[in-house]
Chains A and B, each alone.
Chain A
Amino acid sequence: MIEHLQAIFATSIIFIILLSVTALYCMLVSRNLIRILIGLELLIKAVTLLIALTGYLTGRMALAQTFIITLIVIEVVVIAIAAGIVIGAHRHNQSLDVRTLRNLKG
């Protein structure tokens, strides 16, 4: 039984790390504000999967599910606020390029 769980952990953790690397790459390299947010969403997807995996492996799926539900509610609020900020920045700069966000320096 434990070998079976070990195999699930070993496989999933690789994909979770790879998805996080993809998301972080997107956030670091993108120049578009909305695309940075999409990268952030992907990162949250990876961590959601990690929490579900934890719940499955430890046999505490109910606890993990409540965590995921709370996490999703918080995620929506953060993304809505972020979208508001991006649209506001676009009104000022007429552009979504991060390079226009270089006003503050020093």
Chain B
Amino acid sequence: MTSPLLFVALLMLLLLAGVWTVMTLNLLKSAIGLAITSVLLTLLLFLLDAPLAGVFELSVCAGLITVVFISAISLTKPLTGPEASERDRSRVKRFFFLPILIAGAAWVLYALGLRLDSPLPPAIAEMDVRQVLWNVRRLDLVGQILIILAGVFGVVILFKDRSDKKEAPKS
């Protein structure tokens, strides 16, 4: 690790971004908070010598998933007027405890002093990521193809218009 201080600062920022994502009242801001959390995670991955995973995290999670969330939010109608302010008030009440819970948990965890109490495995010669992905984990690649196929079918099925609607929804 080149700079432990930066690492700890990024971890703190990550947690802060996560808490802000959860606490903020506006759903859109929440989605943006998630993107910021993703960007911070990317930086952490770079610090941990995982540049390729970092690039994936940045482009897919901070980019694509944010787009998915924002389009989902814009496709669904948010509350307005008195309903919304009533909801906001109840939210503040429900989420008031989160910072206290986090602070308490942090104190408990610090007091526990979690340590790695099992031996680390023996060191091996480090391989290249692309080699591992292609030569060692090829089954996972096939798994990725399968799940992407499932995703394509799912999106086609779920977003297709309900022209063939058969039954009225039960009330």
Contact = CB atoms under 8 A, between A and B. Distances in A.
A67 to B, nearest CB: 8
A2 B73 CA distance: 47
| Interface SS majority for chain B | helix
Interface size band for B: 35 or more
Contacts of B98: 22, 25
B14 to A, nearest CB: 7
A52 B124 contact: no
A69 interface: yes
B164 interface: no
Contacts of A37: 69
A34 B75 CA distance: 12
Contacts of B150: 77
A10 B116 CA distance: 7
A73 B65 CA distance: 11
A84 B154 contact: yes
Nearest to B156: A84
Contact of B11 (A9, A12, A59, A73): A12
Contacts, number: 218
Contacts of A18: 15, 102, 105-106, 109
Given A32-B27, A80-B154, A61 B50 contact: yes
A58 B126 CA distance: 11
A6 B12 contact: no
B6 interface: no
Nearest to B45: A52
Contacts of A48: 41, 57
A41 B34 contact: yes
A22 B18 contact: yes
B134 to A, nearest CB: 9
B49 A56 contact: yes
A86 B53 CA distance: 29
A57 B151 contact: no
A42 B60 CA distance: 15
A65 B7 contact: no
Contacts of B109: 13-14, 17-18
Interface of B: 1, 4, 7-8, 11-12, 14-15, 18-19, 21-22, 27, 30-31, 34, 37-38, 41, 44-45, 48-50, 52-53, 56-57, 60-61, 64-65, 68-69, 71-73, 75-77, 87, 94-95, 98, 101-102, 105-106, 109-110, 113-116, 120-121, 123-124, 126-129, 131-133, 136-137, 140, 143-144, 147-148, 150-151, 154-155, 158-159, 169-170
